[in-house]
Each structure stands twice: as C-alpha cells, then as structure tokens.
Amino acid sequence: MIMAAMTATLMLMSAAAQNVQSLVDKLDSQEPLRSSSWGVLAVDGHGRTLASLNPQRKLSPASNMKLITTGLAIKTIGPDYCFHTHIGYDGTITDGVLHGDLYIIGGGDPTLATSDSIATDYTKVFAEWKQFLKKEGIRSIDGLVIGDGRLFDEYLENSSWNYDDIATYYGTGSDALMFYANTIDYAVTPGKAVGNPVNVAPIFPRTPWLKIDNLSTTSPTGTDNTLYFFTTDFTTDISLRGQFPISRKSKTENASNKYGALTCAYYFNNYLNASGISTGGYADIDRHNMIRTGPGQSTGREAAGHPTSISFTLSPTVSDIARETNHRSDNLYAETLLRAISLHKTGSASYDSCHVAITRELEELGVSCEGRFVHADGSGLSRLNLVTPEFMVDYLKAMHGTFTFVPFVISLPSPGSNGTMRSILPGLSQSVKSRIRLKSGSMSNILCYSGYILPSTGKRDDTIYFSILVNNCDAPFSILRPEITSIIAALAENN
C-alpha cells in the first residue's frame, strides 16, 4: 500500500516535471526567447531535475548577484551583527574644551540618515552623539568635526560600472561613513518656455561645495523626460543633462553624492552649533589621509591614526539590512555587505579583496566557482558578473544546508511583496505565493529570477531550487516577464 502510494507520487512528480520541461522547450522555440541567450535549471532536494536549458551557460545575473552577497554576509558576518559608528577625538579636553578634532568614525552603516523603515532618524542619532560629548565633558571644540570613512579602503565605485550609472541613486558607491545613502535629492520643474533651462534646486541633503552645471532644456508637451545627472571625481560640478516636458509638474530627481563622510560631518557640525556646542568647522579625510574642509581644500594636516573612541551607535542588524537589500534591490546596501564580508575575512574592503573573500567563502561552502562564476561586485550592477544557472542552483542548495538559512530565506521576497516582486505572478493563490522566495535581476536586455519554492509538504527534500537567467533579449519586460514567470508558476503549482 505504502509502496503503491510512493510510486503514484513519483509518477505525478515525473509528469509535472515533463510539463515544466515542455513549457521551457516551447518558450525556447519562439520569440522573444528563441533569439535570446538564456538558461534554466530547476531541481529538487531529491536530486531530480525538473527543468533544464543551457544550465552551464555563463550569463549576466544582474541583481541575482544580491542572493550571493546577502547570503554570504548573513553566514560570514552573522545575522545579528550591527555596524558601529564611533564618536572619537584627537587632542586633549581641558575645562570643557576639546583642543583637537572630533571624529565621526564610520563602521559601514548604510542606513544613516536614510528614510528606510529600519533606520533611526538621523536627528535622534545626532542627539545620542551629542550625549556622548556631554558625558565626556565636552562643551566646545576648537578643532574640526571630521567625517572618517577610512575603514573601507579604495574608491567608492566599482571600476567596471558604466559611466552613466555612477551618477545615479542606484549607482552610488559605498564607504565606511555614508549619509542619506550617499545621494542627493533635487527638485526639478520645467522652465517658463520651451528651450529654457529646467529649474533645479537641492532638497536634501544640502551640500554647499557642489554646484549644478545645468545643461538641460525644457521640451514640448508630449516629449519624454530624459533628465540625467553626471558626476565625476575630477570636479565638484554635477552636470544635469537631457530634457523635461513643459507640461510636467515638479519632480524629484536623485544624484549620487561622492562626499558622504563630508556631508555627515557638515550636518553634525551644524547640529552641534545649533545646540550650543561651538566648533571650528567640518571636514573629511581624502585618499591621501589628509584632512580637507572640502573637495580640493586640504588643511595640510594628516588625519589621526587612532582617534580615542568615546562611544558608538549601532546600525540595524545584517539580517535586517539583507532583507531590505533583497526586497528593494538596493545596490548600496549590497555593496556595503560585500565590502564588510571582505573586511571581515581579509582585513581589506577593496574590490580585489572582495573577489578573494567571496570566492573563498563559496569554495568553503562547497560551491565550485571554476568555469561557472565570474565575480565583479556585490549588487550586480557590473556587466562583468557572470554565473551559470547550475552554479546558482548549487549555491542555493548549499545555503539551505547552513545554520543561517532561515534568516537568509526570510530576507527574500515572495510574489506580491513590497518592492520588486509586487506585481509578478498575480494569478497565483496567496498560499502558493507564500512558498516562493526569490530575487529578480534586471538591466537593459536582461531579466533573471532565482530562488526557492518551499514545499507544501514541509519536507526539506521537496524544496525546489531554480534559476532562470535571460540575456540579450530586446523584448519589453511587459512581454518577457510573464513568459519567464510562467515557468516559476508551473514549478510552484506542482509542488
């Protein structure tokens, strides 16, 4: 009786697998996927292959890279770890006066001053920092308030990111002391007449050392908004290019801010002055370890090697940050987690060290990288990242065997969740949706989905691990997405 039931179950599963494979083969035989480069692999915990197409083809994963970054961060740094931001000083304290500089020593918290639901309002953080000074007896500072982001060595951005990405809110780089996710919000409104420059004004944060080079124009009604910011390390100008229709209402546009540590120091300096603690100004530290009061404005003084720490505040936990990373597909958070992994494992947060750390962690996890994985960054913004569907599935299976699998899988959204998964698979029942945990990845001509389908039986071996990577497809996502997600739906409805 039991044997007959087991045989019947296996036959049903085999028939379901054949149906899914038939669907994959059908999609591969017609446009838009016929002329695309894509790969699929779905297996279950019993080792059965449910669908397969080009499983060893190396493809760009886009934001599917965040699966690797967040999973390894939770595993290697720990789900409950918090980034520390220290308040310290260099000098002496006499009669309530700090004869020296105050340091805000960044530990990698990417949430400071963001509007993220997991973040603490920055004015409350500033109030804590002020209390640290009060307990130390500091009533005035004759030196500078210095933003110190040195813990993450090397430059903010990955060198392989596209030029037109690094000025955007999604292409801003991470360092150890960030403020408002290293971005700036600008209000834009059309000019009074077609051909006039677009009106642009900063909203938050205010950065007096940056200037707008406004090369934009007001365009006729019915045209597209093509406004784009461009920034570079070689100038403090932010170039605004493109057009904005005269019929459009005011809109917020976002640009990257390469001076997060300086911005943090500027705002805390102003907070202290407004609350009765006088200071000598604000500054940060350049790549040559020199204190500067603004871009290109060196004081000629070297930053203290080891400021005396007074106390510190804590970021949200790594598991909370990973969850936000995967739900909102936040590139800055992902890059911060990547660099934190590298710092934890190698002592350096440079991207060369990141590659060493990630490869080492994957190999220790039992996931072979050779010929299957090319690592460039943590977010997937680089087009140099390459993975095979087979590699991604092996990684997901290996993570299932770790003690940190629960916080990792919880960090992944389900269809219908807030964020990037809100609108996919609307036809599935909520009970089925809740068993799907996945990450999307999209860039121009790229759309990917990888993740887990948790079993309705509750048996681990019935878990499905899948990866669907589509590259070089010029079809609109509105056409491509339903086709790809139909594979996920077929897998889930038969599990």
Band (8; pLDDT cuts 50, 70, 90)? very low
DSSP type of residue 365: T
Domain residue ranges in the chain? 10-79+318-493, 180-256
pTM of the model: 0.94
- Give Cα separations from 258 to 173, 361, 400, 413 (angstroms): 7, 30, 38, 30
- Burial per residue of 282-302, b for 16 or more beta-carbon CB atoms within 10 angstroms, e otherwise: bbbbeeeeebbbbbeeeeeee
Contact indicator for 119, 255 with CB cutoff of 8 Å: no
Residue among 477, 447, 66, 87 nearest 265 (CA): 87
**CB atoms inside a 10 Å sphere around CB 352:** 11
Confidence at residue 164, expressed as pLDDT on a 0 to 100 scale: 85
Mean pLDDT of 65-88: 98
Confidence at residue 1, expressed as pLDDT on a 0 to 100 scale: 54
What CATH code would you report for 10-79+318-493? 3.40.710.10
Handedness of CA 441, 446, 452, 455 (dihedral sign): positive
Confidence at residue 4, expressed as pLDDT on a 0 to 100 scale: 52
Indicate if the pLDDT at residue 11 is higher than 60: no
Report pLDDT digits (tens) over 196-217: 999 999 999 999 999 999 999 9
Percentage with pLDDT > 90 across the chain: 87
Q: What is the mean pLDDT of the chain?
A: 94
Band (347; pLDDT cuts 50, 70, 90)? very high
Confidence at residue 13, expressed as pLDDT on a 0 to 100 scale: 52
Confidence at residue 9, expressed as pLDDT on a 0 to 100 scale: 45
Report pLDDT digits (tens) over 295-306: 989 999 999 999
Report pLDDT digits (tens) over 252-309: 999 999 999 999 999 999 999 999 999 999 999 999 999 999 998 999 999 999 999 9
Report pLDDT digits (tens) over 411-422: 999 998 888 888
